[in-house]
Amino acid sequence: MSFQQGLSGLNGAAKSLDVIGNNIANASTVGFKGSQAQFADVYANSLNGAGGNTAGIGSKLAAIAQQFTQGNVEASNNPLDIAINGGGFFRMTMGGVVQYTRNGQFSLDKEGYMVNAQGAKLTGYLTGSNGQILAGAPVPIKIDASDLKPVATSRVDTQMNLDSRAKVPVAMPFDANDPNSYNKQVPVDVYDTLGNAHVMSLFYVKSATPGQWDVYVASDGVEWQAQQVAAKAQGDTTAQTLRDKWVADSKAIPPVQATISADLAAYAAQAGNVVAAAAGAAGADATVQAAINAAALAAGGVVGSTPEDVDRAIAAAVKVPPVSVGHLNFDGNGQLVASASSALPLKFQMPVFPPSGANATLPVDIHFAGSTQYGAATAEKNPTTQDGYTSGHLQRFTAGPDGIILGQYSNGRSQALGQIVLANFENPNGLTSLGNNAWAETSASGTPSVGVPETGSLGVLQSSAVENSNVDLTAELVNMITAQRVYQANAQTIKTQDSVLQTLVNLR
C-alpha cells in the first residue's frame, strides 16, 4: 500500500490554497494579475515500459500561471495615474535594470522624473525645443516645468467675406479713429519678441475700383505709418544718448533737478526735430511739423516729466497721410485674384511703440487664403489667427490615449512634454515576477516589442485612472471551498490507507 497519492494530493491542495490566498490578498492591488495553479498527474514507469493497468502515484504542481487579462479601469483624482486599456506593459528602469509593470500609479520625484512607489522611472520619448517628439531609444521621462518662452508673431491668417454691395466710405482719407472712413475693422492680438501683447487692427476700405479693397493696419489703435513716424526718435543715436544721460543724472546722489530738467529739454528738442523731419518725409505739412516740435518742447519743460511723457506728447501730435499695406482684388465670381492684388501675403513691418525693450519692429505676413467678395455682410468666415504667444507657466499636464504627455500653460498654449512607450511580449507568462507588481524579461518570454500606445498589439492609455486587479473575488472564494474539499478528500484517502494497513498488522 502507498500513501504517495494522498500526500501528493495534500501538497497540491495546499499549493492551490496558497495561490488562491495570494490572489485574495491582492484583490485590491492596482495592476495585479491573478495566478492559477496548474497540476499534472504522475505515473511510475517500469524498466520494461508501463502497462495499461499501471496506477498513478499522485499529482504534482506543473506551473503557477499568471492570467494577464484586462482588469477594470477605475477613475482616480490623481492626474499622474495612468491605466492601460489593452495589451502591453509600462517600461520602467530602476538602477539601470529594465522592468515591466501594469501598475500606473505615478508621481514626480524631486528631479521631475515620473516614478512609481518603488522609485522606478517610467520611460518613453523626450521632446525637442518646439515640442516635437524625438523617437529613439526609450529614456526616463522627465517633466520640464520651465516657463514656455514667448514667440513673436510672424504670420496672421484671416479669411473674410467682403460685401460686394458695400459702398465706398463717405469720409476720405482713411482715419483709424473715424468709422466713416472704412467698411470693416478686424482686431487681432499679436506679440512682440518679449511676449508683450499688441492689438493689430486690419481695416478694409472699399475702393472706387470695382472688385478692389484697400487694406490698412493700425498698431495699438494708431495707423502704422503714423506709429512708424512717432517711433523714429528711438532709432536716433543722438536722442538715445541724451535719454541715457537723463537716466544717469536721475539716479545721481544727490539728484540735481536743474541738470535733470536740462537733460529732458535736450532730449525733447532732439526727439521733436527727428520726428518732425520724419513726418515731413511722410507727407506732413509745415503746420504738423511745427506742432510736433511744440508738443515736444512743452512736454520737456514740465518739471517731473520723463522721456516717456515726451514720447507720448510727440506721438499725439503726429498727423501724416495714411498708407495702405496693400489691396485685394476679386473677380466676377467673388474669388480672390492673387495676380491682380498686391503681392500676397501682404508683408509689412509693424512698429513696436512705445518702446518696451523688444525689437523695434515686428515683421508680419498677412494671409488672405479663402477670402471672397459675395453679396453678403462683411464678416470673418473663420476667426482670424496668428502664430505668436506670450510666456507661460506650466499649470498642469495629462497623458493622452497615444501616450503623449501634454502640458498646459498659463498663456493658454499646450505643448508635448514627452511620450510614454509600452512593451509587449510574445509569451507574457514567460516573464519572471520581481514583486511590487513588476516583471522582468526572460528567454521564455521573448524579447519585448516596444512602441507607442495604439499601435500593433499595444493598448491605449487613460489618464486619471488605474487598472484594478483582475482577481474575481467571488470565483476565488468558490475555488477556496473546492480546494478545501480536495484537501479533506486526500486526507481521507490517507486515513483509509492507514485503516487498511492497521487491519493487516492485526491479522493473526
The amino acid occupying position 37 is A
Q: pLDDT (tens digit, 9 = 90+) per residue, 420-453?
A: 999 999 999 899 999 898 999 999 999 999 999 9
Kind plus residue range of the DSSP H or E element containing 317: helix 307-317
pLDDT of res. 63? 84
Q: Tell me the average pLDDT of the chain.
A: 91
Q: pLDDT (tens digit, 9 = 90+) per residue, 309-368?
A: 999 999 999 999 999 999 999 999 999 999 999 999 999 899 999 888 899 999 999 999
pLDDT of res. 50? 52
Asked which of 26-40, 276-290, 404-418 is least confident by mean pLDDT, the reply is: 26-40
pLDDT of res. 47? 52
Please compute the mean of the pLDDT values over residues 475-503 and round it to a whole number.
85
Confidence of residue 487 (pLDDT cuts 50, 70, 90): confident
Q: pLDDT (tens digit, 9 = 90+) per residue, 194-240?
A: 999 999 999 999 999 999 999 999 999 999 999 999 999 988 999 99
Q: pLDDT (tens digit, 9 = 90+) per residue, 85-132?
A: 999 999 999 988 999 999 999 999 999 999 999 999 999 999 987 788
Q: pLDDT (tens digit, 9 = 90+) per residue, 160-196?
A: 999 999 999 999 999 999 999 999 999 999 999 999 9
Asked which of 135-144, 287-296, 490-499 is least confident by mean pLDDT, the reply is: 490-499
Q: Give yes or no for residue 46 having a pLDDT over 60.
A: no
Q: Give yes or no for residue 21 having a pLDDT over 80.
A: yes
Confidence of residue 9 (pLDDT cuts 50, 70, 90): confident
pLDDT of res. 503? 83
pLDDT of res. 53? 65
pTM: 0.77
Farthest CA pair distance, the chain: 147
Question: In degrees to the nearest 10, what's the CA dihedral of 352, 356, 357, 362?
Answer: -20
Q: Give yes or no for residue 303 having a pLDDT over 70.
A: yes
pLDDT of res. 285? 93
Helices then strands (H, E): number in the chain? 7, 28
pLDDT of res. 1? 47
Sign of the alpha-carbon torsion through 239, 245, 251, 255: negative
Beta 82-85 vs 73-75: how paired, if at all? unpaired
Q: How many CA atoms lie within 13 A of 244 on its CB side?
A: 7
b or e along 427-437 (b: 16 or more beta carbons within 10 Å of the residue's beta carbon)? ebeebeebeeb
Cα(225)–Cα(485) distance, integer angstroms: 96
Q: Judge whether 178 and 185 are in contact, CB under 8 Å.
A: no
The amino acid occupying position 352 is V
Q: Judge whether 177 and 386 are in contact, CB under 8 Å.
A: no
